[in-house]
């Protein structure tokens, strides 16, 4: 199982769907070479250099954490079940309440939709937060499958810097 990188009172927890097979294989978040996560963090000013997947634990030094709504690795999100999401939602809620981050950044609209049950979601900070004291932010997935340009992704993630 891919380990979370979490600590108390983080600035941001980045929450993905679930570990991909490559991430599970190497033991690091966002390890697929086509994933733009670390590039987006750097280009949006959230990190001072572009980290590599094997440095995922270093994000804690920036005040950032990493977790997923579902901890079971799959080839793609279409393999996840309703049961996976129901169990994952409960576990994620416990993590958020325990660690008390300032911001939950859901890396993908679908992640937030599965967590919150809210269907109509826009990019950025949400009107209603799921846990009191923690703001919810929805950002696009950084997967290479997402058809947004790097610049479009970076523009949305820059809102977290503010």
Q: Considering the domain boundaries, does residue 49 fall inside one?
A: yes
Residues 106-135, mean pLDDT to the nearest whole number:
96
Please tell me which residue in 5, 18, 68, 104 is annotated as part of the active site.
18
The answer to whether position 120 is within a domain reads yes
- In this predicted structure, what is the pLDDT of residue 135? 97
Q: Is the pLDDT of residue 146 over 90?
A: no
**pLDDT for the residue numbered 76:** 82
Tokens representing 27? 């033991």
Tens digits of residue pLDDT in 67-116: 999 999 988 888 999 999 999 999 999 999 999 999 999 999 999 999 99
For residue 89 the two structure tokens come to 């939602």
Nearest to 66 by CA among 53, 76, 75: 53
Number of domains in the chain: 1
Q: Is 35 a catalytic residue?
A: no
Residue 153: give its domain's CATH number. 3.40.470.10
- The model's pTM is 0.96
DSSP string, 27-68: T-TT-STT--HHHHHHHTTSSSS---GGGGGGGGGGTEEEEE
Residue 105, helix vs strand vs coil: strand
pLDDT-based confidence at 162, cuts 50/70/90? Answer: confident
| Active-site position among 29, 35, 68, 104 | 29
pLDDT for 31 equals 95
Residue 5 in domain: no
Burial 12-41 (b: 16+ CB within 10 A, else e): bbbbbbbbbebbbeeebbbbbeebbbbbbb
Question: Residue 5 gets which letter from DSSP?
Answer: B
Is there a catalytic annotation at residue 5? Answer: no
pLDDT at position 39 is: 97
Q: How many CB atoms lie within 10 A of CB 149?
A: 10
User: Residue 145 has what pLDDT?
Assistant: 82
Taking only the tens place, the pLDDT of each residue in 3-59 is: 999 999 999 999 999 998 899 999 999 999 999 999 999 999 999 999 999 999 999
- Whether 23 is covered by a domain: the verdict is yes
- 6 occurs within a structural domain: no
28 found inside a domain: yes
Instruction: Note down the domain range covering 129.
Output: 12-161
In a domain, 35, yes or no: yes
Other beta carbons within 10 angstroms of residue 90's beta carbon come to: 9
* pLDDT at residue 59, rounded to an integer: 98
Residue 3, in any domain of the structure = no
């Amino acid at each position: 199982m891919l380990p979370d990188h979490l600590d108390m009172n983080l600035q941001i927890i980045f929450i993905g769907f679930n570990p991909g097979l490559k991430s599970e294989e190497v033991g690091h978040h966002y390890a697929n070479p086509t994933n733009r996560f670390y590039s987006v963090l750097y280009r949006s000013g959230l990190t001072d250099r572009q980290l590599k997947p094997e440095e995922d634990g270093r994000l804690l030094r920036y005040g950032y954490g990493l977790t997923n709504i579902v901890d079971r690795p799959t080839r793609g999100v279409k393999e996840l079940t309703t049961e996976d999401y129901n169990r994952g939602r409960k576990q994620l809620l416990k993590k958020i309440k325990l660690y008390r981050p300032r911001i939950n950044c859901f890396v993908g609209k679908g992640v937030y939709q599965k967590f919150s049950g809210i269907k109509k979601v826009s990019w950025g900070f949400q009107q209603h937060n799921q846990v009191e004291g923690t703001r919810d932010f929805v950002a696009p997935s950084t997967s290479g499958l997402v058809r947004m340009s790097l610049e479009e992704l970076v523009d949305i993630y820059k809102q977290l810097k503010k």
